[in-house]
Amino acid sequence: MKDLKYLAAFSIPIIAFIGLSIKGIYLYLTPFYAFIIIPFMELIFPVNTKNVAPEDIENKLNASLFDWLLYLNLPIVYGLTFFGLYTITHTSLETYEFVGIVFSVGIVLGVNGINVAHELGHRQASKERFIGKALLLPALYMHFYIEHNFGHHLHAATKEDPATARYNQSVYSFWITSTVRQYFSAWSIQRRLLKNYKLNFISLRNDMFWFTVFQLNYLLAVYWVFGLYGFVFALSSGIVGFILLETVNYIEHYGLMRLKTTSGRYERVKEIHSWNSNHVIGRIVLYELTRHSDHHYNSYKKYQILDCHDESPQMPYGYPTSMVLAMIPPLWFKIMNKRVPREMIIS
């Protein structure tokens, strides 16, 4: 029964559904819950550094429950997106209500969309990768699949990685540099992959081409069916979703840089090159994303068996709380800069 704790990950879309149903000021229940209630709960609940017992690992890997908890996010994300589109085009709303719907659905696209897509994107089964890519579509961030799997995990904690925040870089600056650099990096990686397979740039196996087609058709279909308001909503909620992702990227590797060996190459990725958090609430709601150090150490490891490593740099707060702190750069720098190992700071 304790494995059912991950059902808490559905609390955010449930809150969003309630807000969209009642409307008015209740449309801000989702951001209030995600960035005030959850951080408050993280301060109350104890930190849990316990790892899965070796004898239990096989059972957890074979339990389909953990996979279905991910798959169910597909109808939830698309259902809530459609509900948002229907609401804004069939209801007379005030401007603040429209904004509330955008943020509510956008948060779901980030947490239950991109975050779950990230987990599934590392799986070997094609059906799981398909679901992962489908979850990236409403957030307009399908290129994340290529850049993250073939770029970020290779270059993490180096200057070459768009998704690694530099020491003293603000989250607002990072939103721009990471978003732009990741997109162009994805195209560069795609060209390299095609070249490796001796295929031309114009090829049916050019995923970046298909991602562009799917996302443009999605927006065009929304405009055709739901009009201008629907288009603005789809575009805006997608932006909120991937900005949420980039905020997570920011706190995951902030200031941590791999050193170069005598050969001039970077040292291999270790458990010390990502920020770890064992705060229970964030772990559950984000499907153990907060145990990011172990994820980079073994990217194919499923979320339910990720470990805590003592040598990993530990965040003083959970990921949701840290995201709020990152929005206040002076406070973030004051808390985090002293935790960054001096030898990792590279100007």
State pLDDT tens for residues 252-290.
999 999 988 888 889 998 889 999 999 999 999 999 999
Query: Which pLDDT does position 203 carry in this prediction?
Result: 86
Min mean pLDDT across 48-52, 98-102, 144-148, 173-177 is at 48-52
Alpha-carbon Rg for the chain in angstroms: 20
Q: What is the pLDDT of residues 14-73, one digit of tens each?
A: 999 999 999 999 999 999 999 999 999 998 988 999 999 999 899 999 999 999 999 999
pLDDT at 347 > cutoff 60: no
Query: Which pLDDT does position 224 carry in this prediction?
Result: 98
Query: How far apart are the C-alpha atoms of 317 and 277, rounded to whole Å?
Result: 7
Whole-model pTM: value is 0.95
Query: How far apart are the C-alpha atoms of 18 and 11, rounded to whole Å?
Result: 11
Asked if 34 and 111 count as a contact pair (C-beta separation under 8 A), the reply is: yes
State the average pLDDT over residues 110-125. 96
Select from 250, 299, 244, 298 the least CA-distant residue to 275. 250
Residue 49 phi, psi (nearest 5) = -95, 5
Write out the two tokens for 345.
């700071």
Query: Which pLDDT does position 94 carry in this prediction?
Result: 96
Helices 73-90 and 126-136, axial angle in degrees (round to 10): 20
Partners of 264 in beta bridges: none
- What own/partner pairs with CB < 8 Å and gap ≥ 24 does 288-294 have? 289/115, 289/118, 289/119, 289/248, 289/319, 290/315, 290/318, 290/319, 292/252
Average pLDDT, the chain: 94
Query: Which pLDDT does position 1 carry in this prediction?
Result: 64
pLDDT at 116 > cutoff 60: yes
The single residue listed with the structure tokens 């659905």 is 105
Query: How far apart are the C-alpha atoms of 12 and 225, rounded to whole Å?
Result: 27
Residue 174 phi, psi (nearest 5) = -65, -40
| 161 secondary structure, DSSP code | -
Question: Total domain count for the chain?
Answer: 1
Query: How far apart are the C-alpha atoms of 172 and 180, rounded to whole Å?
Result: 13
Query: Which pLDDT does position 300 carry in this prediction?
Result: 83
Cβ neighbors of 334 (< 8 A, separation 6 or more) are none
State the average pLDDT over residues 79-106. 97
Query: Which pLDDT does position 346 carry in this prediction?
Result: 62
Domain that holds residue 246: 2-344
Min mean pLDDT across 42-46, 70-74, 111-115, 231-235 is at 42-46
Instruction: Annotate 97-125 with b (16+ C-beta within 10 A) or e (fewer).
Output: bbebbbbbbbbbbbbbbbbbbbbbbbbee
